[in-house]
Amino acid sequence: MAAHTPRTTGTPAGPERAPGLRERKKQQTRYALIQAAHLLFLRQGFAHTTVDEIASAVDVSQRTFFRYFANKDEVALAVMAVAEDYFIECLRHRPAEETPLQALRAAIVKAWRDLGSEESAGPGSIHSALELMRMIEETPPLLAAQLRRVTEQERLVVQVLAEREGLDPAEDLRPAVLAAVFGSLLRSAHLSWSAEHAPAGPEGMVAVIERYFDQLGPALAGHWRSPA
């Protein structure tokens, strides 16, 4: 059916065709699962939500759930994954004049702002993601899984930074070191944001992130006798 209609929809030319019915249904199911899981998690907690509940809320079998997500963690972190991918995209487009550190900072701020400005309010929106972040932070197994995800994303960051500056990441440690520093800085900011009564919403998060970035220099400087 879709074989002869390469550009019936708005998508311009490319290796992708119009997705068939099968593919659309899959996306739909996946989205519904995330949505249902998200709702249940926030309402009754991660541990007290069974996979069976999620699956039957979407009217699929438990087995099907596990064909979409490798485990219960994954459905909770799926929203985060989207944001992380977008950040990588932002980083790739930073101008070459910026130093690596500047590029990272600018990319993360832009990512939060862009995602925050989407007026969407359903699951998958920033507000959902922010709610989720609070939950992740106080749910040990989720936090563990999230940390692992982040470190894998870090490898991508290393790649992008190395390409940017034309370095071999196996030879030059600077991309790896900066990516690691950046990752941990972000997590500190996230933690601080979800623990403190920081201004909610993406802008509050951006503000916290900026404050942490500003402390990077002072933290590594000599002694800390005088206040920052």
Partner DNA sequence: GCAGATTATGTCAGCCTCTGACATTCGGCA
Partner DNA sequence: TGCCGAATGTCAGAGGCTGACATAATCTGC
Site residues for DNA per CB under 7 A: 1-3, 20-23, 25-26, 29, 49-52, 59-64, 66-68, 70-73
Q: Binding a copy of itself by CB under 8 A: which of 177, 199, 200, 203?
A: 177
145 binds, among DNA, a copy of itself, none (CB under 5 to 8 A by kind): a copy of itself
CB 210 to a copy of itself: min, Å: 11
38 binds, among a copy of itself, DNA, none (CB under 5 to 8 A by kind): none
Q: Binding a copy of itself by CB under 8 A: which of 56, 174, 201, 207?
A: 174
The residue among 44 and 99 lying less far from a copy of itself, judged by its C-beta, is 99
**How many whole angstroms separate alpha carbon 63 and alpha carbon 65?**
5
CB 187 to a copy of itself: min, Å: 7
Binding to a copy of itself by residue 159, rule CB under 8 A?
no
Burial (CB count <10 Å: 0-12, 13-18, 19+), residue 28: exposed
**How many whole angstroms separate alpha carbon 74 and alpha carbon 146?**
9
Binding to a copy of itself by residue 95, rule CB under 8 A?
no
Q: Which amino acid is at 65?
A: F
Q: Binding a copy of itself by CB under 8 A: which of 99, 117, 118, 122?
A: 99
Binding to a copy of itself by residue 135, rule CB under 8 A?
no
Q: SS3 letters for the chain?
A: CHHHCCCCCCCCCCCCCCCCHHHHHHHHHHHHHHHHHHHHHHHHCCCCCCHHHHHHHCCCCHHHHHHHCCCHHHHHHHHHHHHHHHHHHHHHCCCCCCCHHHHHHHHHHHHHHHHHHCCCCCCCCHHHHHHHHHHHHCCHHHHHHHHHHHHHHHHHHHHHHHHHHCCCCCCCCHHHHHHHHHHHHHHHHHHHHHHCCCCCHHHHHHHHHHHHHHCHHHHHCCCCCCCC
Q: Binding a copy of itself by CB under 8 A: which of 167, 201, 207, 210?
A: 167
The residue among 98 and 114 lying less far from a copy of itself, judged by its C-beta, is 98
180 binds, among DNA, a copy of itself, none (CB under 5 to 8 A by kind): a copy of itself
CB 91 to a copy of itself: min, Å: 15
Residues of this chain that bind a copy of itself (CB under 8 A): 99-101, 140, 143-145, 147-148, 151, 165, 167, 172-178, 180-181, 183-185, 187-188, 192, 211-212, 215-225, 227-228
